[in-house]
Structure 1
Amino acid sequence: MTGLAIDVADLTKSFDGKVVVDHLTVRVRQGEIMGFLGPNGSGKTTTIRMLCGLLVPDAGRGTCLGLDVLRESGQIKRQVGYMTQKFSFYEDLTIAENLNFVARVFDLDRRKERVAETLERLGLTNRRNQLAGSLSGGWKQRLALAACIMHEPKLLLLDEPTAGVDPKARREFWDEIHLLAAEGMTVLVSTHYMDEAERCHRIAYIAYGKMLTEGTVEQVVASAGLSTFAVSGAEPGALARRLQGRPGVDLVAPFGTVLHVSGRDRAALAATLAAEAADYRVSPDEPTLEDVFILLMNRSADNFQ
């Protein structure tokens, strides 16, 4: 692949003898939005910190923004915007004061103009004098994103950026992310929200330090090889309990009064449903990204066990 913003191979990192990231290979094209999925403790945050120069890999090789991740981490930091899981700005300063502080840290020219332009872009101008500590989750998110993009980074790293944010704020946030990508910025974002993952150009599923699958959402869903049926009728809870562990059944998920039943062996799954759900309405359905997520979680071994 040409035009890669991130091109790293065999990244490895251990803490206290436990391998957190295990020979991970990541490639992200310039201007692409790549989603990182995986259970908690999978090494997503550690990987992001290695890519932006905050952690040095124990092993591995490659480049981020054309710079060596082992030898040029200092230069990488200045070209990356990193939005952490936890709000990390001064709550006793106003929005404008926080952005002025960030501008000074990066030694930006035209500080006053840059702050004003960033406030305007993120819809923060009318709140510029509001204390950061008094902001709701959605407005704190906007401030954090504003601080991340003010120095015009080439790469934006977002670590579960919308946790605890209402749906309207999440949608507005993602609209802005797509505008930034359209302008040429590369985005790597970790998320647990399936609807957010579906807004990424490509996704990668990481489980306990290992890359299990990557590609477009359609490619990842297809590669799981799941067959899915929608089952509806009386007492779906009782049926769900009967189906658990039966031949061909890998997943049973209730959606209201309908069961979403999936498995990798279609013939065995169909036979089980014929035997156990003869009095129910059964119809073929499409597997979802959430189905694949749960399947991969169930098949992954926790490296800290």
Structure 2
Amino acid sequence: MSQPIPSPAVDIRNLRVSRGGREVLHDVSLTIPRGSITGLLGPSGCGKTTLMRSIVGTQIVESGDISALGRPAGSAELRHRIGYVTQAPSIYSDISVRENVAYFGALYGRDRDAVDEAIVAVGLNTHAHQRGDELSGGQKTRASLACALVARPELLILDEPTVGLDPVLRVDLWKQFRELAAGGTTLLVSSHVMDEAEHCDRLLLMRDGHLLAQLSPDELRAETGEQNLETAFLTLITMGQNV
């Protein structure tokens, strides 16, 4: 007998969101498979953060249905199952990395081992005793990620986590994302840098609040006839079609 197809980690149908009297997400429908890295890509201001906030349940939506891990977005039971890392580092500046991660770990009932694992996972074990205000920008980003990882979420949503990082740190962070996905975590990672699409299993391509396509990097190349993903994205916009 064939195995049943698992339900998607995220399922969105006909989502519309308005802010300040202006519609910023236009009838968006998509799915995100479990245990994968899905890249949410598009220029700044295209609606990526609004879409992520909608999935987490912190955004008021005008209409549409959103489910995450089989439950309605924003459900109380999802708070321990979804991790969300915003663009701005979300750590306390006057306590150490370890104390920051331990605080968030305590909220989720995690022990010291879980705290240590999260710190090691983001490569901050040698900086664990430094205060938040003593860290570089890239280190603050990784500390924020550790605070999300300590909860061991099933779904991890990351809003432009590599902004401002040097190329070496970006490569290291994507390696960590791949290891998380291999362990069963579902990741949704936003970026406005198209070369990061290479690291993703699936892509969600957005422009001006519209979802242009949901497909793999290879499918994007095949659809547009372009090998460079940034050129392929621009070609897709020119074609003006949904995939």
The TM-score, its normalising length taken from structure 1, stands at 0.73
Question: Alpha carbons of 1:8 and 1:296: their partners in 2 closer, same or farther (altered >3 Å)?
Answer: same
User: Quick one: distance in 2 between partners of 1:125 and 1:85?
Assistant: 22
Q: Which amino acid aligns with 1:292?
A: A
Q: CA RMSD in A?
A: 1.8
The answer to whether structure 1 residue 78 and structure 2 residue 18 are counterparts is: no
Deviation at 1:195, TM superposition (A): 2.4
User: Quick one: distance in 1 between partners of 2:239 and 2:22?
Assistant: 20
Q: Deviations over 1:245-304 (max 9, x none)?
A: xxxxxxxxxxxxxxxxxxxxxxxxxxxxxxxxxxxxxxxxx541111233455678xxxx
- The aligned counterpart of 1:204 is 204
- The aligned counterpart of 1:35 is 39
Deviation at 1:219, TM superposition (A): 1.0
Question: Alpha carbons of 1:89 and 1:188: their partners in 2 closer, same or farther (altered >3 Å)?
Answer: same
- The aligned counterpart of 1:220 is 220
Task: Check whether the contact 1:53–1:77 (CA below 8 A) recurs between aligned residues.
Answer: no
User: What SS class does the counterpart of residue 88 from structure 1 fall into?
Assistant: coil
* Structure number with higher relative contact order (C-alpha < 8 Å, ≥ 6 residues apart): 2
User: What SS class does the counterpart of residue 4 from structure 1 fall into?
Assistant: coil
Tell me which of 20, 24, 28 is aligned to 2:24: 20
Tell me which of 93, 96, 104 is aligned to 1:94: 96
Unaligned runs of 5+ in 2: none
Q: Which amino acid aligns with 1:168?
A: V
- The aligned counterpart of 1:5 is 9
User: Quick one: distance in 2 between partners of 1:109 and 1:183?
Assistant: 18
Q: Which amino acid aligns with 1:22?
A: H
User: Quick one: distance in 1 between partners of 2:180 and 2:83?
Assistant: 12
Deviation at 1:138, TM superposition (A): 2.5
User: Quick one: distance in 2 between partners of 1:102 and 1:127?
Assistant: 18
Task: Check whether the contact 2:55–2:66 (CA below 8 A) recurs between aligned residues.
Answer: no
Task: Check whether the contact 2:80–2:108 (CA below 8 A) recurs between aligned residues.
Answer: no
User: What SS class does the counterpart of residue 123 from structure 1 fall into?
Assistant: coil
Alignment of 1:1-305 (within 5 A): 2-69=6-73, 72-104=74-106, 106-110=107-111, 112-224=112-224, 226=225, 286-296=226-236
Deviation at 1:119, TM superposition (A): 2.1
Q: Deviations over 1:107-144 (max 9, x none)?
A: 4142x332223223333222111011221233222211
Task: Check whether the contact 2:102–2:115 (CA below 8 A) recurs between aligned residues.
Answer: yes
User: Quick one: distance in 2 between partners of 1:65 and 1:100?
Assistant: 26
Q: Deviations over 1:34-92 (max 9, x none)?
A: 101111111110010010111132111141101012xx532223211111111121122
User: Quick one: distance in 1 between partners of 2:125 and 2:185?
Assistant: 23
Task: Check whether the contact 1:45–1:159 (CA below 8 A) recurs between aligned residues.
Answer: yes
Q: Deviations over 1:140-163 (max 9, x none)?
A: 222111111101100010111000
Task: Check whether the contact 2:110–2:151 (CA below 8 A) recurs between aligned residues.
Answer: no
User: Quick one: distance in 2 between partners of 1:121 and 1:147?
Assistant: 11
Unaligned runs of 5+ in 1: 227-285, 301-305
User: What SS class does the counterpart of residue 161 from structure 1 fall into?
Assistant: coil
Q: Deviations over 1:210-232 (max 9, x none)?
A: 111121112112223x5xxxxxx
Task: Check whether the contact 2:122–2:173 (CA below 8 A) recurs between aligned residues.
Answer: no
Q: Deviations over 1:144-189 (max 9, x none)?
A: 1111110110001011100010111111101110000000000011
Task: Check whether the contact 1:53–1:74 (CA below 8 A) recurs between aligned residues.
Answer: no
User: Quick one: distance in 1 between partners of 2:197 and 2:162?
Assistant: 12
- The aligned counterpart of 1:232 is none
Question: Alpha carbons of 1:185 and 1:197: their partners in 2 closer, same or farther (altered >3 Å)?
Answer: same
The TM-score, its normalising length taken from structure 2, stands at 0.90
Q: Which amino acid aligns with 2:89?
A: F
Q: Which amino acid aligns with 1:97?
A: E
